[in-house]
Amino acid sequence: MAFNSTSTVSSGFSSRPRVVVVGGGFAGLEVVRGLSRVPVDVLLIDKSNHHLFQPLLYQVATAVLTPAEIASPIRQLVKEDRRVQVMLGEVTGVDPAGRTLTVVTDTVTQATQRVAFDYLVLAVGMQNFYFGHADWRAEAPGLKTLKDATHLRAKILRAFETAESESDPDRQRELLTFVVVGGGPTGCEMAGAIAEMARTTLPREFRRIDSRTTRIFLVEAAPRLLLAFSEGLSARARTALEKMGVDVLLGQPVQHIDSHGIVVGDVRFPSSTVIWAAGVKAVPAGDWLGVPVDRQGRVVVNPDCRVPGFSYIFAAGDVMHLELKGRPLPGVAQVALQQGRYIGRALGAQVMGKPPLPPFHYQDRGNMAAIGRNFAVMESGPFQLSGRLAFWAWAIIHIFFLVNLHNRILVFLRWTWAYFTNQRMARLIVDPQEH
Amino acid sequence: MAFNSTSTVSSGFSSRPRVVVVGGGFAGLEVVRGLSRVPVDVLLIDKSNHHLFQPLLYQVATAVLTPAEIASPIRQLVKEDRRVQVMLGEVTGVDPAGRTLTVVTDTVTQATQRVAFDYLVLAVGMQNFYFGHADWRAEAPGLKTLKDATHLRAKILRAFETAESESDPDRQRELLTFVVVGGGPTGCEMAGAIAEMARTTLPREFRRIDSRTTRIFLVEAAPRLLLAFSEGLSARARTALEKMGVDVLLGQPVQHIDSHGIVVGDVRFPSSTVIWAAGVKAVPAGDWLGVPVDRQGRVVVNPDCRVPGFSYIFAAGDVMHLELKGRPLPGVAQVALQQGRYIGRALGAQVMGKPPLPPFHYQDRGNMAAIGRNFAVMESGPFQLSGRLAFWAWAIIHIFFLVNLHNRILVFLRWTWAYFTNQRMARLIVDPQEH
């Protein structure tokens, strides 16, 4: 991997300071927006060409929405500001003292470029993590990208199809058993969505299997679901899932996963579809910088979101670790949005020679998770809500947070259609066959 | 590959004759619909879980529409009729005398099943064909399936992205050169759509390249484009493409394709994106049956659409060859639809002991192709039309032929949005990286 000697992206530009933002998620986009009135040039680097609305990824995996409806081309989002450049590429290293990054920009030739910066914001997010069991990755796909989602969608739909043709009852049972590992919001939402598909969308479409007999297990090592919520809501979510036919297994760690099942505690569950919603770890930005990280690999930042030792490098969103009031900030969209906004302002003050901002303050607006079609849990401070009303609030808020009007209209239409017909119109198996 | 001794799908059913239809395209679905009042059991087998509206596949490849908008789950389309079963599987052989098929139904275990039939309809369509140059397949992807379309979409979008970061002007020029091989409707539509994307959607989004300098070559070995149309319309289509900035190369065969370009006649065109819209051949149904095929591998059928020698086996749509008035029927949706309807009726008469139908008669309603956003050509008998009005007619007719209301609404919305904003909202690179 040779460094490209022409540092092309820094040439031919103004004498304004250059801010490089790595990652076009919630945090990165907010930083770019926040810099619109600051005299800097901005380069936004992402390994995808789209901003992804991760909270609805599980709806792509369960065939309600299509990939394009929860994604927006990054270039389009920032095209109005001529000082903003976008680069599709994967960052593989940072020289923090020399203020350069290494980026792979041509996937065919694997050509790399060295990119110079005056200020750097790392907002590169998380990736799936299997707690040292790298061999589980192939058996239990996770859900972090659109490719993950369409892969899972194909795997889930194919299990029903194969079961319909299968004559061996044991194999058929294995195909009609789904295990979701991880009882956080994504795990609860996936388990609920699979249950709903099996019980409302599919029954009339198969002749030999009864999709209502599908078994869905939700496995969580902690003693309750949705640890970020109060115990009361967590219990209500569990009851809602159980009413939908999901078996909830708590307090038991996963021991083993292979292509025909999973061992939880001492019990083996034969299943051809195990879904991983349990562990994530940070993209290794800490290694790039050579700075301390927490157990999940997140960069520990100062209260002003700067990386210790570097006044010109920030980390934001899921990839950073910051404790406020003795608790680390959670890896949720709200933290990323607020931090992105803060860093935009902090950078503006720094560039324009104004006094530094007070430390980052997080305003927790609350949590929500949707389980099936008419049930959600939400809480905000002392306020708690669960059930149908919470579901409608969840739906409205999620449509509001989609980044463009076009997708808001399409998601609204798809949801309305799905709600009244029980149909899931995005039921496509387009993945390459798995073996 | 062991035969599964339990012929599961024939067990537990009525004593009605069983019709097996292979292929859920236009022809296959029409056969199934036509049998709704005939006392038979129906098994519809397809290797995809969705019916695909192929005429709009190029719009997925060029990021206007998303896959789910031109596809419908086959099970959902036929779910109301309880006598119809659906099987996801790939047919690998037919025993025409023993009246059984071999189908791979489990992609993990590669398990096969033997499926019995009383009547068989083969409507399995075409696949990409590289005229004996199998090595061109990887360099010049074709456009027959949704997977092809999303792969091409990623390849086209990635070329612009890589060009933006590239400092070598030769490699940049190669990345901004697109070659479409094949001057039929798909080739013309692809070339026009790429030109439009480069000239209207992308210019404001890149900073280092000018996407309007993109070169697009359309290569056709015959002396004119759109051979199925009159010479006048063919010339008008060529003029329209040239006005959009497409270079049309006629009468020159492709000599060579590699990952950095194509040789047409004696000239090498450096290009990192060559698209194959030139050759197709039939899925090898003729080999399965051991009956004569034409040059493209299509099964030569009798005037009643039956396969010679087998009164109970039909072939329909793109996979069959039938000459009417001295000319073979073209491989278009209309032929498939009309033949599917005819075979449904012919089978009904046969099963119910009625006199056989007169030979299949094809009513040619005409041809159309859209080139860019405001130009189409269409002809029907002596009637010819080109330009903006033809474009609107094309759009209305294509929305009408989508198989469900949900997709009609979504396609209408996407088209309206794209028409007035020039945006292409489905611009996702989600393919696995190519190398």
At A337-383, the pLDDT tens digits run 999 999 999 999 999 999 999 999 999 999 999 998 899 999 998 99
| CB-closest option in B89, B108, B434 to A435 | B108
| CB-closest option in A68, A103, A150 to B426 | A68
Q: Which CATH number fits domain B8-47+89-128+280-351: 3.60.20.10, 3.40.50.300, 3.50.50.60, 3.90.950.10?
A: 3.50.50.60
DSSP string, B150-182: HHHHHHHHHHHHHHHH---HHHHHHHTEEEEE-
Mutate to test the interface with A, among B167, B211, B407, B435 (most CBs of A within 10 A): B167
CA-angle at A402, arms to A349 and B406, nearest 5°: 165
Q: Is pLDDT at A7 greater than 50 in this prediction?
A: no
Please state the φ and ψ torsions of residue A137, each to the nearest 5 degrees: -55, -45
Any bridge partners for residue B126, and if so which?
A: B282
Q: Is pLDDT at A286 greater than 90 in this prediction?
A: yes
Is B166 an interface residue toward A (CB < 8 Å)? yes
For residue B12, the model assigns a pLDDT of: 46
Kindly give the residue spans of alpha helices, DSSP state H, lying in B5-109. Answer: 26-34, 57-61, 74-78
For residue B425, the model assigns a pLDDT of: 85
For residue B180, the model assigns a pLDDT of: 98
Per-residue confidence of chain B (435 residues) as pLDDT tens digits? 333 433 444 444 568 999 999 999 999 999 999 999 999 999 999 999 999 999 999 999 999 999 999 999 999 999 999 999 999 999 999 999 999 999 999 877 888 999 999 999 999 999 999 988 989 999 999 999 999 999 999 999 999 999 999 999 999 999 999 999 999 999 999 999 999 999 999 999 999 999 999 999 999 999 999 999 999 999 999 999 999 999 999 999 999 999 999 999 999 999 999 999 998 899 999 999 999 999 999 999 999 999 999 999 999 999 999 999 999 999 999 999 999 999 999 999 999 999 999 999 999 999 999 998 899 999 998 999 999 999 999 999 999 989 889 999 999 999 999 888 888 888 998 865 443
For residue A107, the model assigns a pLDDT of: 79
For residue A432, the model assigns a pLDDT of: 57
List of chain A residues whose C-beta atoms are within 8 Å of the C-beta of residue B9: 165, 208
The whole-chain average pLDDT of chain A stands at 92
Q: Hey, is B390 helix, strand or coil? A: helix
Strands B273-276 and B177-181: parallel
- Other Cβ atoms less than 10 A from the Cβ of A290: the count is 10
Mean pLDDT of all residues in A401-418: 90
Helix (H) or strand (E) holding B258: strand B254-258
Q: Does domain A136-278+373-421 have CATH number 1.10.3260.10?
A: no
List of chain B residues whose C-beta atoms are within 8 Å of the C-beta of residue A207: 82, 85
DSSP 8-state class, residue B331? S
For residue B352, the model assigns a pLDDT of: 94
Q: Tokens standing for A427?
A: 């039921």
Instruction: Name B62's Cβ contacts closer than 8 Å, sequence gap at least 6.
Output: B153, B156, B190, B193, B194, B197, B424
Is A210 an interface residue toward B (CB < 8 Å)? no
CATH class of the domain defined by B136-278: alpha beta
Is B427 in Cβ contact with A73 (below 8 Å)?
A: yes
Q: Tell me if residue B189 is catalytic.
A: yes
Q: Is pLDDT at A323 greater than 70 in this prediction?
A: yes
Using alpha carbons, list the distances in angstroms from residue A241 to A63, A218, A386, B364: 19, 9, 13, 55
Q: Tokens standing for A426?
A: 């995005």
Taking only the tens place, the pLDDT of each residue in A29-86 is 999 999 999 999 999 999 999 999 999 999 999 999 999 999 999 999 999 999 999 9
pTM (predicted TM-score): 0.92
Nearest alpha-carbon partner for A133 in A223, A32, A30, A257: A257
In chain A, list all ranges with CATH 3.50.50.100. Answer: 136-278+373-421
Write out the E strands in A123-237.
126-128, 177-181, 215-220
Question: Are B314 and B301 in contact, with CB atoms under 8 Å apart?
Answer: yes
Q: Is pLDDT at A295 greater than 60 in this prediction?
A: yes
Confidence band for A8, pLDDT divided at 50, 70 and 90: very low
Taking only the tens place, the pLDDT of each residue in A122-143 is 999 999 999 889 899 999 999 9
Q: Is pLDDT at A264 greater than 90 in this prediction?
A: yes
| CB-closest option in B4, B162, B430 to A147 | B430
Instruction: Name B433's Cβ contacts closer than 8 Å, sequence gap at least 6.
Output: A107
For residue B279, the model assigns a pLDDT of: 82
DSSP 8-state class, residue B108? T
Kindly give the residue spans of alpha helices, DSSP state H, lying in B244-312. Answer: 285-289
Q: Which long-range contacts (CB under 8 A, 24 or more apart) does B92-97 make?
A: B92/B1, B93/B288, B94/B120, B94/B122, B94/B285, B94/B288, B94/B289, B96/B120, B96/B289, B96/B290, B96/B307, B96/B310, B96/B313
For residue B2, the model assigns a pLDDT of: 35
The whole-angstrom separation of Cα B337 and Cα A348 is 63
For chain A, the residue count is: 435
Is A207 in Cβ contact with B82 (below 8 Å)?
A: yes
The whole-angstrom separation of Cα B308 and Cα B288 is 14
Q: Hey, is B374 helix, strand or coil? A: coil
In chain B, list all ranges with CATH 3.50.50.60. Answer: 8-47+89-128+280-351, 136-278
Strand order in the sheet with B254-258: B254-258, B261-264, B267-270
For residue A11, the model assigns a pLDDT of: 41
Confidence band for A431, pLDDT divided at 50, 70 and 90: low
Taking only the tens place, the pLDDT of each residue in A398-409 is 999 898 899 999
Q: For chain B, how far is it from start to end, CA to CA, in angstroms?
A: 32
Question: Are B191 and B218 in contact, with CB atoms under 8 Å apart?
Answer: yes
Q: Is pLDDT at A433 greater than 50 in this prediction?
A: no
